[in-house]
Amino acid sequence: MRALTLPALALAAACGGRAVADDAAGELPRPPRPEACAPVAEGEDLQARLDAAGDGDALCLAPGRYPGTVEVRHAVTLWGPADAVIASTGSGTTVRIVAPRARLLGLTVDGSGGRYDKLDGAVLIAADEVEVAGVTIEHAVYGLLVEKAHRVTLHANHIRGSTDPSIGLRGDTLRLWETYDSEVSGNLIEDGRDVVVWYSRGNRITDNRIIRGRYGTHFMYSDGSDVERNQYVDGTVGVFVMYSHDIRLIGNVVANAAGSAGIALGLKDSGNVTITDNLLVHDQVGIYLDATPQGPNQRVVIAGNQLRLCRAALVFHASGHATDVTGNDFIANDAHSRVDGGGDALDVTWAGNYFDDYAGYDLDDDGRGDVPYELRSWTHTLFDRHPNLEFFTGTPALAMADAASRLDPLFAAKPVLIDPHPRMQPAASGAGGQEE
């Protein structure tokens, strides 16, 4: 896998999500016009044309506006250029796909009804082996919904969410519900609430750009899925995994996960999760683990990641257990690791990580420190007991108190983590420990 580089991400973060989105919009590929495609002119009854088409037929829309709601009941291909618009009439879901192997390609779907309780959306898929590719979705309460379907393909779509200032009042841009063995790839998703994967299994979410959302990808009761090479910028949470197992988070970028709830990658009551080769930069919390791994025979692997400029790079809720933290780079974070609620991370396997504040030496010149790296922080122990004191972070008084605790053994804080042989140098390139 080609490694992600820090300069590219830093530029994206510095420019802000809007610049990233504007640049990315022109890069999305448009599916070509199908061969043997029957033309549909503006003003024709689109629903009647769809009902008259047989399985395997293709309909091509001319530029113009076509009123919804329409329902795709046969395995047809419905194609249009970006200026062929299926527009909501103000109620319900605008396009419903209920036929297996149907395809929706290239066109724009504008709007939906306004009922949150009815899940009014732009496009609803309720059939197996459906493909939606190159479609633009905008002005809808919910964007793209998939329910009780297998082997669905969602590729290179541009989903624009609401610009309502209250992010909690927006609808989800993408929602997979009881969806299995499906592919979500190469999409650009902006300004929505959440990308949701609930009660689903075996899905792949790859190469997407998700900007200014609340949850970039939120798993709940969804096992056996891969999240690879996605970019999450200017959101609240990048990826959060709850009550799910056998999840792989690989090669993703999460930048500017901000606010008091900001988390790049979070795990709660989950197990057998692999977090490798990710670049997490300028996030409130880089990786958060709560009651994870869940079971006695499960583990969490955190390897080859870069965690940079985070308020807290790796946070455990209570003590950490059954977790391997190996080959990561911890650079320019306010706290490389923290344990909330008391406890420590001494049961965690720490091996071969790079810490930019390591003060040891390497006499045998093997690239590993000859003395362990020990993280001790009197101020973070104090914050754990009195959270309100975090207000004084960065003040000279706390800095002097922390320095005094290192000089006087009577006031030394207990260790939070010990890495027996830390690396002396950060990874040469890539998203953490993996060279190109």
Q: What is the pLDDT of residues 3-49, one digit of tens each?
A: 444 444 554 444 444 444 444 445 799 999 999 999 999 999 999 99
Compute CA distances 233 → 217, 264, 394, whole Å.
12, 10, 26
Which residues are within 8 A (CB) of 344 and not within 5 positions of it... i.e. 6 or more apart? 319, 320, 414, 415, 416, 417
Q: What is the pLDDT of residues 115-167, one digit of tens each?
A: 888 899 999 999 999 999 999 999 999 999 999 999 999 999 999 998 777 88
Q: What is the pLDDT of residues 230-273, one digit of tens each?
A: 999 999 999 999 999 999 999 999 999 998 899 999 999 999 99
- Please report the pLDDT score of residue 43 as a whole number: 94
Reply yes or no on whether the pLDDT at 287 is more than 50. yes
Reply yes or no on whether the pLDDT at 176 is more than 80. yes
**Dihedral of the alpha carbons of 392, 394, 399, 400, in degrees to the nearest 10:** -60
Mean pLDDT of the chain: 88
Q: What domains can you pick out in the chain, each with its CATH number?
A: 17-233 (2.160.20.10)
The number of beta carbons lying within 10 Å of the beta carbon of residue 243 is 16
Q: What is the pLDDT of residues 360-399, one digit of tens each?
A: 999 999 999 999 999 976 555 555 555 665 656 656 765 5
The mean per-residue pLDDT over the stretch 290-315 comes to: 94
Instruction: Place 401 in a pLDDT band, splitting at 50, 70 and 90.
Output: low
Q: What is the pTM of this model?
A: 0.88
The single residue listed with the structure tokens 């939120």 is 218
- Please report the pLDDT score of residue 162 as a whole number: 82
**For residue 281, what are its two tokens?**
């930069």
CA count, 13 A, side-chain hemisphere, 296: 0
